[in-house]
Structure 1
Amino acid sequence: MDVNGAVAEGFEPVGEAFARNFDVLGDRGAAVAVYRDGHRVVDLWAGARDVDGTEPWRRGTAQVVRSATKGVAAAVVLLLHQRGELDLDAPVGEYWPEFKAAGKERTRVWHLLAHRAGVPVLDTPLTPAQAADPDLGAEAVAAQAPVWEPGTDHGYHAQTYSWLTGELVRRVTGRDIGEWIAGEIAGPLGADLWLGLPDGERARAGRVAQIDPPADPRGLRTRPKREVSEAYADPASLTRRAFAAITPLPDENDPAYRAATLPASNGVATADGLARFYASLIGEVDGGSRLFTPETVELARAERSAGPDRVLVVATRFGLGYMLHGAASPLLSPTSFGHPGRGGALGFADPDSGIAFGYVTNGFRKSVTADPRAQALVRALRASLGSA
C-alpha cells in the first residue's frame, strides 16, 4: 500500500502502524493526523477515497465520522458556558421549557453531556427524514419520559444526543448548531470539519460502508462479551432501542443525510480537521488562538459518569461530552479526552503531552468504542512519546 504524507522525526512508529492497518487490519482508505503543542507532526493518508472504489484518497479527503461528531458538539455547549451564555448546572427547562415534560424538570444541562439525562431511547422512533428535521427531533425528545431518574445513572445517548444538544444550542443562541460550528470553530481554525455538509464540499467526502474484519488471525479479531452481544440482539434492550431511535438506520452516503444536522452522528471531517480541532481545545494551533481556557479543559475531562453503562453494557467513563481514557475506550493516557465514532473514527486531546489526534476511515467495523485500527495507531503514538 502506498502511504502518502509526512511524519516528523520520532513519530515513525505511527507511520509503520498506519501502513500495517492496510496490510494486516484490512483498512481500505484512511488518514491519520497528529499535532503536538499545536504543530502537525503526523499527516498520512492511503488507499481509496470510496470504500467500494478505486479513486485514490487525497490529502483533503473527508469522511463521515459518526459519533466522533459528539466531541465537536460538546465543545459548542462548553464554549457557550465559557462565554457566560449558558449555566451547566441550570435545569435544561430554563432554556427549553418544553423539555420539562414527563418528569424531566430537574434534568441539568451537564446531565445531557454526561449521558445522565435518562432519555437514550424514543418510544416512537423517528424515520431518517423525521430525524433530519430539528423541530421534530426536539419535540420527540422533549416529550419522551426518562427510563431512569435524570442524573442518577448513565447510559450512552447514541442518537438522542443529536436533539438534546442541537436544540439546547438553538434555544440559547438562536442558531443551528452546524452553523455555529462553521462560524465559531471550523472557520476560524481552518479545520476541515462540518456538521451539515455544504453542497460545495460534497465532492470531498468519500463513500463509507461496513466491512468485515480480516480473516488473518494477526488482525486482532475480537469477540464481544456474551452480555454485550445479547444486548445488541435483543429488540427490547436499551442498547438496541438507543441505536434504533432512528429507524431504519440512515444511508450515510445519502447527500440529504450528510446535509442534515445531527450532532450525535453525521459530522464529516478530514483526519487533519479532527486533530486540528482537538489541538485547539488544549493550546494554540500554529501560533493562533485556542478555543478552551485551561479551566474549560478541566471541566471537559473531569469524570462525571463512570461504571456500567446502561446502554453500552460495558463500563464507560465520561466527562462533559467526552469519553475518558478507560478499558472501553483506551486513549493516549489518563489525561486524555475525546470521542470515537462507532466502528472507525477517533479524535482526542491529551493535555499533559500536548498531543491531539484524528483518524478517519471509509470502512466501518462492528466495534463501538475501541476500533483495532485506531487503537494500533494510539499504541504507536504512545511508543513514539517514549511512554509505552
Structure 2
Amino acid sequence: MDLRPLVDAARQDVDSGWLPSCQLAVARDGELIAFEALGAATTATRFCVFSVTKPIVASVIWQLLGERLVRTSDRVADHIPEFAKNGKESVTLEQVLLHTSGFPNAPMPADAGADPARRVERLASWYLEWEPGTRFEYHLGSAHWVLAELIARLTGRDFRDALDERVTGPLGLPRLLGLREDQQHGIAPLVAVGAAKGREHENHLFTYDRPDVVRAGVPGGGAVATAADIALFYQALMDDRLGLWDPDVLGDATSNVRCTFPDPMLGVPVNRTIGLVVAGDDGQHVRRYAAFGRQCSPRAFGHAGAHGQVAWADPETGLSFAYVTNGLDADFMREGFRAHIVSTLASQLG
C-alpha cells in the first residue's frame, strides 16, 4: 500500500501556505495503518471537527433504539413534552435524524444548550419554518440539540457524559465532547486562511475553539478529535466487536437510506440514513456531504464537516479515512476540491 501520494497531497496544501496544519488517518481491521500530522501539528494535536461530530452523537441514539427505549416513529414530544409548543407536536425522531424536521435555523447558543433548564426553554420556544417531512434542509445545529436532550432524558445522564460512557470510552477513545478547560490541552486554534482572513467575525464557527464553547460540547459540531480517533470510530461502525449497538439498528444506520430529497445547495439526493450519508450507486457520491473518494463503493458511508473535514468508511474495502484541518477558508470551492483530492487518494488504497 503506497501512502505517499495521499500524504504528499496533504503536505502540499500546508507547504504552499493554504493550511496551517492538518492530520489524516487511514484504518483497517480495527487498527490504524496510517496516521500523519503536517504543519503546526503533531499526532497528539486535536482538531475542531465540526459536523463530523453528528454521527458520533447519533450513535448514542442508535443504542437507545436498540434498547427499545425509543423508536424512530416516536414523536419527540412523547419524550420531551415541552418540545410540543409552537406547533412542533408532530415532529418525529426520524425527521430529526434526517434533517426533515422543519426547524433548520432554530437558535441555540452554546451556553444555553449546555444548561439543561435553558436548553429545554429554547427547545420549547422554537417554531417550524416549514412542514416536517416535506423537504430536506441541513439543520446545522438545531437537530442535534434535540438529540442531546433526548439522550439526557432516556439515560438520566448528561448527554456529553453519556457519549463518553457508552461509546467513546468503551472504544478506547478519549472524551471527544464537552471537555473541561483542564482537559483542553493540544487543541489546534482555528486560523483564517485565504479569503477568510480578516473576516472571522462573519463566521460563527471561529468560536468553536473557545474554551467555553469546547466545554459546552455542541452536539452538532463541537467535538474535538484527532484524525485517528475518527478513523477508529468508523472502524467500529463496520465491525462492532464490542457489541455496542444492536446489529439491526447499526445496519439501518450505516446502509438504509431513508431520505432522498434533493440537497438545496448541492442539487443531488442527500442519501441520508438515521445519522449518516451513504455514497449510493447513482454516480453522484463525490458531491454528497461526506466527501467520498471517487473510488469509494456505493456502500460507503460517512459525514463531512465544515471547512474540509472528511470522515467515511467503506465496507467493501474495510478502509476508514479521516482528514481534519484547522484552516478555515471562505472559498468553499477550494475547500471542496482539497477534500475531494485527499479522499479520492485514500479511496484508491483499497
TM-score bracket, normalised by the shorter chain, equals 0.7 to 0.9
1:318 is paired with a residue of what secondary structure? coil
Structure 2 Cα separation of the partners of residues 76 and 369 of structure 1: 34
2:257: which partner in 1? 303
- Change beyond 3 A, Cα 1:17–1:249: closer
- Mapping of 1:199-238 within 5 angstroms? 199-212=181-194
- Change beyond 3 A, Cα 1:294–1:17: farther
- Change beyond 3 A, Cα 1:347–1:313: closer
- Change beyond 3 A, Cα 1:368–1:309: farther
Shift of 1:128: 4.7
Q: Residue 257 in 1 paired to residue 213 in 2?
A: yes
2:271 is paired with a residue of what secondary structure? strand
1:381: which partner in 2? 346
- Change beyond 3 A, Cα 1:274–1:249: closer
Structure 1 Cα separation of the partners of residues 259 and 3 of structure 2: 33
- Change beyond 3 A, Cα 1:313–1:40: closer
- Change beyond 3 A, Cα 1:111–1:204: same
- Change beyond 3 A, Cα 1:115–1:369: farther
Shift of 1:76: 1.0
Structure 2 Cα separation of the partners of residues 173 and 46 of structure 1: 40
> Do 1:28 and 1:363's aligned partners in 2 also have CA atoms closer than 8 Å?
yes
- Mapping of 1:234-383 within 5 angstroms? 251-284=207-240, 289=242, 291-300=244-253, 301-310=255-264, 312=265, 314-315=267-268, 316-325=270-279, 326=285, 327-329=287-289, 330-331=291-292, 332-366=296-330, 367=332, 371-383=336-348
Q: 2:39 is aligned with what amino acid?
A: G
Question: What is the identity percentage for the equivalent residue pairs of Structure 1 and Structure 2?
Answer: 29
2:306 is paired with a residue of what secondary structure? coil
Q: Residue 173 in 1 paired to residue 155 in 2?
A: yes
Structure 2 Cα separation of the partners of residues 177 and 73 of structure 1: 9
User: Where do 5+ consecutive residues of structure 1 fail to align?
Assistant: 1-8, 49-56, 215-243
Q: 1:275 is aligned with what amino acid?
A: A
Q: 2:33 is aligned with what amino acid?
A: V
Aligned equivalent of 1:195, options 177, 193, 203: 177
1:31: which partner in 2? 23
| TM-score relative to the length of structure 1 | 0.78
Structure 2 Cα separation of the partners of residues 328 and 365 of structure 1: 20
1:153: which partner in 2? 135
1:61: which partner in 2? 45
2:37: which partner in 1? 45
> Do 1:27 and 1:361's aligned partners in 2 also have CA atoms closer than 8 Å?
yes
Structure 1 Cα separation of the partners of residues 267 and 123 of structure 2: 25
> Do 2:25 and 2:228's aligned partners in 1 also have CA atoms closer than 8 Å?
yes
Q: 1:112 is aligned with what amino acid?
A: V
Structure 2 Cα separation of the partners of residues 138 and 187 of structure 1: 27
1:164 is paired with a residue of what secondary structure? helix
Select the structure that is richer in helix: 2
> Do 1:282 and 1:351's aligned partners in 2 also have CA atoms closer than 8 Å?
yes
Shift of 1:108: 1.4
Q: 1:91 is aligned with what amino acid?
A: R
1:340 is paired with a residue of what secondary structure? coil
- Change beyond 3 A, Cα 1:369–1:340: farther
Shift of 1:318: 1.5
Shift of 1:74: 1.1
Q: 1:188 is aligned with what amino acid?
A: P
User: Where do 5+ consecutive residues of structure 2 fail to align?
Assistant: 197-201, 280-284
Structure 1 Cα separation of the partners of residues 118 and 218 of structure 2: 12
Shift of 1:19: 2.3
Shift of 1:86: 1.9
Aligned equivalent of 1:109, options 70, 86, 93: 93
- Change beyond 3 A, Cα 1:204–1:334: same
Deviations 1:315-351 (A, max 9, x none): 3332111123232333133212221111122222222
> Do 2:302 and 2:312's aligned partners in 1 also have CA atoms closer than 8 Å?
yes
2:33 is paired with a residue of what secondary structure? strand
| TM-score relative to the length of structure 2 | 0.86
1:44 is paired with a residue of what secondary structure? strand
Structure 2 Cα separation of the partners of residues 354 and 249 of structure 1: 32
Q: 1:68 is aligned with what amino acid?
A: V
Number of aligned positions between the proteins: 332
Q: 1:208 is aligned with what amino acid?
A: L
Structure 1 Cα separation of the partners of residues 166 and 19 of structure 2: 33
Structure 2 Cα separation of the partners of residues 120 and 33 of structure 1: 32
Q: 1:46 is aligned with what amino acid?
A: L
Shift of 1:25: 7.7
Which range moved further: 168-177 or 131-140? 131-140
Shift of 1:150: 1.4
Q: 2:45 is aligned with what amino acid?
A: T
